[in-house]
Amino acid sequence: MTGNLAQYAEILKVQKQYHELQYAHWLQYQFLTDKWWMLVGALIIPWIIWWRVVDKTKTGIILAYGIYMMFVVTAMDAIGHALQLWIYPVQLLPVIPDSIGIDWGFLTVLHMLIFQYFPQWKSFLFAETITATLLAFIGEPFAEWIGVYYALHWYHHWSFPIYIAKAVFGKWLIEKIV
């Protein structure tokens, strides 16, 4: 047990050094840069648009779907980051997951709008397939081009079925629960 605690103490020491280095890097190279402001916009602007166009009579179920999407995309990005499949070189804050601006803003609102405007399964699947195509084959390469995302050990075509699967499972789950 003593060896376990000693090794854990060493892990905590290295983690502290890592977080100090990460914070210094964020402050010097990320905070208030043009890419940082793009992430702020990707987080806030979609929610403003959503509030203007959401069907207020269905806000509860749409938000439930959105919360599901936030959880899933954040978890998937955390796993991908931990496995070093991809990175987000710019963070909103150094103490939150790297992809919050994109995950909790743009992606969540996009999927909620699809959920609202395409309530029938056939149209929903069609809209999500088009969205998955655009995100995987245009959105991800564009994000790499502007420098807010880099695929390290990941191919964009792997994202395509995942975009569809998470949306389909979410719609099925929320409709079963609500």
- Pair (18, 44) in one structural domain: no
| Residue 132 sits in the same domain as residue 147 | yes
Q: Number of structural domains, the chain?
A: 2
Q: pLDDT tens-digit profile of 6-38? A: 888 888 999 999 889 999 999 999 999 999 999
* Pair (90, 16) in one structural domain: no
Look up the pTM and report it.
0.90
Specify whether 92 is located in the same domain as 140.
Answer: yes
pLDDT at 5: 83
At 70-121, the pLDDT tens digits run 999 999 999 999 999 999 999 999 888 778 889 999 999 999 999 999 999 9
Q: Please indicate, yes or no, whether residues 80 and 7 belong to a single structural domain of this protein.
A: no
Residues 95 and 157 in one domain: yes
- Indicate if 157 and 167 belong to the same structural domain: yes
Q: What does the block give as tokens for 32? A: 């208030």
Claim to verify: residue 10 and residue 96 sit in the same structural domain:
no
Is the pLDDT at 1 greater than 70? The verdict is: no
Which comes out higher in pLDDT, residue 24 or 4?
Answer: 24
pLDDT surpassing 90 at residue 43: yes
Indicate if 55 and 7 belong to the same structural domain.
no
Domain that residue 93 falls in: 32-177
Task: Please state the separation of Cα 61 from the chain's center in Å.
Answer: 20
Structural contact between residues 36 and 30, judged by C-beta atoms closer than 8 angstroms: yes
Tokens, residue 21: 């280095």
